[in-house]
A = this chain, B = another copy of it.
Amino acid sequence: MKRFIKYFLLSIFIIPVSLTSAQESIAEDKANYVFLFIGDGMGVAQVNAAEAYLAAVNGEAGFHNLTFTRFPATGYMSTFAGNRFITGSAASGTALATGYKTNISRISMDPDGVKPLKTIAERSKEIGMKVGIISNVSIDHATPAVFYAHQPKRSMYFEIGYDLVQSDFDFFGGGGFIKPQGTIGEVVIDLMEEARKNGFTVVNTRDGFNDLDNTSGRAIAISPRLDKNGAMPYTLDMTPDDLSLADFTVKAIELLNNEAGFFIMVEGGKIDWACHANDGACCIQEVIALDKAIEAAFGFYEAHPQQTLIVVTADHETGGMALGNNTVHYDLNIELLKYQKSSNDHFNEIVADFREKLSGNDTIDYAKMLEIIRNDFGLGHKNKVPLTEEDMKRIKTAFYTSMYPGDDPSTNLTYGGYEPLTITLSQLLNEKAGIGWTSYSHTGVNVPVYAIGVGAEKFSGTIDNTDIPKIIESVMR
């Protein structure tokens, strides 16, 4: 009987409570400062790998939480595209930016690639907020592009870049442009020139970056060091001179902080690249780099908890990553990844250098390569990652395949189109560390969502990538 009375009282009291001023102010809380972090290719395993690695190298049990894995609201998000179950960054990014499902390769355009779809960043701008777009891959790459550009194909880099310099957004930061020059009709266009004409301050040096402040107006800040794809270096290859994803995020907050609010999107784009190459060590460092950028946003949230929303998610998973494989069975040795000193990209250059010398009729110094491998991966170092005879055979075969590529199509199948020696070393280290991979491509598993701040709880449960901008908009002023 008591129970019945209690519920009766409850039902009476629920209604009056909703009319109290406390409740009203809660219901009216609106996010004035919105951060959307996208870990490209970041599934649950990528996040957990970073946490397990940090715990292992710190001598802790289990997982060392990242900033964003301590967020109170968590969800599962489906990522499928309009015309393919396993999505790509353009289609999934379009869903995250516009709330619409589209087909593979579209940049915020409808499935037919005809009609542009308005993005959450453009809507933010319309209501007077400032907008910043940051990525550590090139700024015209699919994920950043879906927030400011509208093109039928992600490969239309010049057109995407032109949309960027024509946009009324306030800050672009991180990587550079894949096609900084192009033509419209017969007119040759230089995007940087065009950007300056349209009122952007453009910097690509550390001094220029340091000089940017909230009096600089609209700005494009490009990393002083870029790789051949216009991307910032892998975190594993960075020196203290390099600007990090966190540096760009801190700068965006400084430049865009204003009473009318802001929308800032930050992409950790190299998680995906590392996972395509099944490179666990690089993947982990890229997740940690994204977390450091999130830390900057979290500091801002702590100062403005009732006006800030931070959402962290991914566009899809890459690689079918797992913490366990048939080499280690039940004994994960994730700390072995610490012996990898550089990214696969950087090691490719070493391999290319060897191959170069070869065409100059130099003799192949395989012993020298084994020494580099011991140093750069710990592989073959008896106190780091000892190798079996079988392992040594795999390395030797891959080395000679890298030196004399030939044109056997089965080589491409075996090595997934990657530099045979590099991918073999990466695979060997991952196998021994216990990191499993099922694919060089994306996979279709749901990706995680983490949120804190105004409306964070709405990201709980099982949602779709098209829900993200809808929920954000519902809690924005």
Which A50-83 residues sit within 8 Å CB-CB of chain B?
52, 56, 61-63, 65, 69-76, 78, 80, 82
Main secondary structure of the interface of A (DSSP, over half): mixed
* A326 within 8 Å of B (CB atoms): yes
Residues in B neighbouring A446, C-beta threshold 8 A: 44, 48, 63
Residues in B neighbouring A3, C-beta threshold 8 A: 307
CA distance A321 to B44 in the complex (A): 12
Q: Are A8 and B461 closer than 8 Å at their CB atoms?
A: yes
Stretch at the interface among A12-20, A183-191, A245-253, A365-373: A12-20
| Nearest neighbor of A18 in chain B, beta-carbon distance | B13
Q: Are A71 and B330 closer than 8 Å at their CB atoms?
A: no
Residues in B neighbouring A56, C-beta threshold 8 A: 85
Residues in B neighbouring A325, C-beta threshold 8 A: 320, 438-439
CA distance A47 to B83 in the complex (A): 22
Chain A contact residue count (CB 8 A cutoff): 81
Residues in B neighbouring A462, C-beta threshold 8 A: 65, 69-70, 74
Q: Are A329 and B26 closer than 8 Å at their CB atoms?
A: no
CA distance A288 to B323 in the complex (A): 25
11 sampled A-B residue pairs with Cβ under 8 A:
A8-B457, A8-B461, A13-B20, A16-B23, A44-B445, A73-B460, A74-B461, A86-B434, A88-B330, A324-B439, A324-B442
Q: A10-B14, A86-B323, A322-B445 are in contact. List 13 more A-B contacts (CB 8 A).
A: A6-B25, A13-B26, A17-B23, A17-B26, A52-B444, A69-B462, A70-B461, A74-B460, A317-B324, A320-B324, A324-B438, A324-B441, A326-B440
